[in-house]
Structure 1
Amino acid sequence: MTNENHDARFTGMPLFQTNCHLADGLLVRAGIPHRGGKLAFHAFEEGYAAMVSANAFWNPARQQFHFPDATDLMELDFALDSAGFTAMQLWKTRGKQAGIAGVYPWSYQQYVELASSCGASWYAQPDMCCEPEIATDQDQVDYRIRGTATMLEGTLRVVCDWQERLAWDCDSRTVSNLVRVPVPVIQGYSVDDYRRSLDLLLSVWERWRPWLAEPTLIGLGSVCRRNLHDPRHGLYAVLGGLEGHLPAGAKLHLFGIKGQCLEKLRALDWIASVDSMAWDFGARVSARERAISNTIAHRSTTMSRWMERAQTRASPAPGDQRRLLLAA
């Protein structure tokens, strides 16, 4: 579709939409494994930003999402993860699913509806993760990189279609608030993978101008449990390979990072936020080693301890250099 056709199609619709509003500094989001309950309440009491998986709201028996009428998540600054890793695991163990690409159990329409109604600060597009336990060779990684770009296109088509219908009765600001633009995600394992994924993302995004502005936030997927220092697929190498190649003004969100890398990340002004479930893994390990029950109280205490350390590491400290070499 040409830009001229896009211009005609977008008449009366919101134009140059951004996908996220960012604050200054490096924001750490605590992963919340539930759609509400005491862990979400604890995060609310402590004032933590959060990340919640779409899978937490999925009812497999009814094949639909259910967002609670009342949940402490509504009081939090939380972002919505598309649950790509969980979906890929489900696909590998059970075969073709009923939803997106035969991998997700839910459709584009179901996911966009959840994302637009749940009150999340932003939501990530559906993607296809590339962790080694999921993508076991380069052909599979390449397939998932292409699939992630295809899923971005599919999500944008649904969002645009719904906004177009709303534009008949609503002003542009209302339309853009009712149905939100997603945060795109790049995938891969090596530096070259992520650069190729970024190129595909930008190619898709460009086709939707002037409806879309440059992406404000881009997700970096498959970095959970990632080695930090490997020269080909370590986190620092990947970030070094992406530096200078992001669209003007765009920043990254890193899904599932290790807390010890935050001192370096805080010096990079093009990284906006990170999230981690490391605190919950740590709670399980600690409970097993101490031979105690992994209660909600224990998990809450562990969340607080992990987040306090993470926020300290993510905050500027006296003597910080403006930039740090990622390869160092």
Structure 2
Amino acid sequence: MAIEIVVGLPHLSEGPILQRARAMGVPTLISANCLSRWKKRDGWREWSGWRLGTLANARGLASLDLDSGGYVAMSRYNGIPWSVDEYMALAASYPFRRFASLDYCTEEGVARDREEVLDRISRTIRANRDCRMRAADLGIADRLMPVIQGRLPSDFERCLDALPVSMKPGTVIGIGSMCRRPLFGTEGLIAVFEHLDRILPQGVKTHGFGVKGDCLPYLRGLEHRICSLDSQAFGIAARYDANKRGVPKTDRLVADHMERWTLRQMARRSEPARALQGELALDPGERFHPDPWERAIAQARHEIRALIEDGSLEHDEITSGWVQEWAADIYREGRFD
């Protein structure tokens, strides 16, 4: 079965973009950030809830999925401005085909080093658990798409192993931090999907967030595992086109690029399959720190992550200052594993 191309919409305002999406009959996705309401208080921009009225404009679309908007939230606001309960209220307000769990992306622009990548994996695990519990309370758990995060292929496996998800056939797992990832290499997109194909149970599918269209011929051999990909890359092409020609970036221009981009991706699904690379070296594991203070820092991070994952700490509570205080106690007490 061919990989489904999901078109990421920049907004749900009535106009050329929505009209074109309806006419093409393509599955679509919207980010929670695009449905946010903001206000200024004391000179600061604050999140103030959801613009639920715009969801009425989704009528006539073939389908609509919801993404939590984690990368935008981190890059613009340095954190997710809405709580699990607030996000799940949004998920329950419309019959989305699928809605993604909250997650913490691991792109280099957000996670500066290996320790932060591991921190964000732990937060993603906890956020998934919280979303699943709330979804069950709301009666919408059947439409929740868990999301796994990581930098190395083995990171995604660790995240997957910790999720409270029944891996039955038909389950769809969202794969995050894909849109800025190279195609090849030990941390490349192909290496991640290939590794997941090796470890996922039969019948469990994946959705790739922000996967580049030129990857499709390389993923042909994984069509049994990848059910869908989404992207809003046409928006970048529309901005470049408008700047080059010195014209406004109107919704009509964006709609034209959206249609051309979608048709191009659909055509790429019929291109001859290209050979997948063999899986390369995986995560070498945690580094050994001979210096006692570095060992204490590493152990403090490990203990804090474990507490986040089992629910003893909130997934947004960890700070660098707290890690150092925790490490200081380990260092003074000589409490090394």
TM-score (normalised: structure 1):
0.76
Aligned to 1:135: 111
RMSD value, Cα:
2.2
Aligned to 1:273: 228
1:68 is displaced (CA, Å) by 1.9
Q: CA, structure 1 residues 109+226, in 2 after alignment: closer, same or farther (shift >3 Å)?
A: same
1:86 to 47, 72, 76: 72
Matches within 5 A, 1:190-269: 190-201=152-163, 204-205=164-165, 216-230=171-185, 232-268=186-222, 269=224
1:129 is displaced (CA, Å) by 0.3
Q: CA, structure 1 residues 162+187, in 2 after alignment: closer, same or farther (shift >3 Å)?
A: same
Q: Does 1:282 align with 2:237?
A: yes
1:195 is displaced (CA, Å) by 1.8
Distance in 2 between residues matched to 1:47 and 1:162, nearest whole Å: 29
Distance in 1 between residues matched to 2:278 and 2:138, nearest whole Å: 44
Q: CA, structure 1 residues 109+287, in 2 after alignment: closer, same or farther (shift >3 Å)?
A: same
Contact 1:186 1:198 in 2 (8 A): yes
Aligned to 1:34: 11
Q: Does 1:155 align with 2:131?
A: yes
Q: CA, structure 1 residues 162+213, in 2 after alignment: closer, same or farther (shift >3 Å)?
A: farther
Q: CA, structure 1 residues 64+229, in 2 after alignment: closer, same or farther (shift >3 Å)?
A: same
Which one-letter code corresponds to 1:105 in the other structure? P
Distance in 1 between residues matched to 2:216 and 2:147, nearest whole Å: 21
Distance in 2 between residues matched to 1:189 and 1:300, nearest whole Å: 33
Matches within 5 A, 1:287-306: 287-306=242-261
After the TM superposition, which of the residue ranges 120-129 and 59-68 deviates more from structure 2? 59-68
- Across the two proteins, how many residue pairs are aligned to each other? 269
After the TM superposition, which of the residue ranges 291-300 and 63-72 deviates more from structure 2? 63-72
Aligned to 1:75: 60
1:107 to 73, 79, 83: 83
1:47 to 25, 41, 44: 25
Q: CA, structure 1 residues 308+69, in 2 after alignment: closer, same or farther (shift >3 Å)?
A: closer
Contact 1:37 1:72 in 2 (8 A): yes
Q: CA, structure 1 residues 116+162, in 2 after alignment: closer, same or farther (shift >3 Å)?
A: closer
1:182 is displaced (CA, Å) by 1.1
Which one-letter code corresponds to 1:147 in the other structure? R
Q: Which runs of 5+ in 2 are unaligned?
A: 40-46, 280-337
1:213 is displaced (CA, Å) by 5.1
Which one-letter code corresponds to 1:46 in the other structure? M
Q: CA, structure 1 residues 156+70, in 2 after alignment: closer, same or farther (shift >3 Å)?
A: closer
Question: Which contiguous aligned blocks of 4+ residues in structure 1 show a shift greater than 4 angstroms?
Answer: 212-215
**Percent same amino acid at aligned positions?**
33
- CA offsets, 1:155-202, max 9 Å, x none? 111122334xxxxxxxxxxxx5xx65410011011122222222222x
1:91 is displaced (CA, Å) by 4.0
1:223 is displaced (CA, Å) by 0.6
1:264 is displaced (CA, Å) by 2.3
The 3-state SS of whatever aligns with 2:207 is strand
Contact 1:215 1:247 in 2 (8 A): no
The 3-state SS of whatever aligns with 1:115 is helix
- CA offsets, 1:54-112, max 9 Å, x none? 111111237211222664423221210011112212442xxxxxxxxxx3222222211
The 3-state SS of whatever aligns with 1:63 is strand
Aligned to 1:66: 51
Q: CA, structure 1 residues 205+133, in 2 after alignment: closer, same or farther (shift >3 Å)?
A: same
TM-score (normalised: structure 2):
0.74
1:120 is displaced (CA, Å) by 1.4
The 3-state SS of whatever aligns with 1:132 is coil
Which one-letter code corresponds to 2:4 in the other structure? L
Distance in 1 between residues matched to 2:99 and 2:275, nearest whole Å: 29
The 3-state SS of whatever aligns with 2:179 is coil
Contact 2:97 2:143 in 1 (8 A): no
Q: Does 1:325 align with 2:276?
A: yes
Aligned to 2:262: 307
1:324 is displaced (CA, Å) by 4.7
Q: Which runs of 5+ in 1 are unaligned?
A: 1-23, 93-102, 164-175, 207-211
Distance in 2 between residues matched to 1:222 and 1:134, nearest whole Å: 10
Aligned to 2:317: none
Contact 1:41 1:72 in 2 (8 A): no
The higher relative CO (CA closer than 8 Å, separation ≥ 6) is in 1
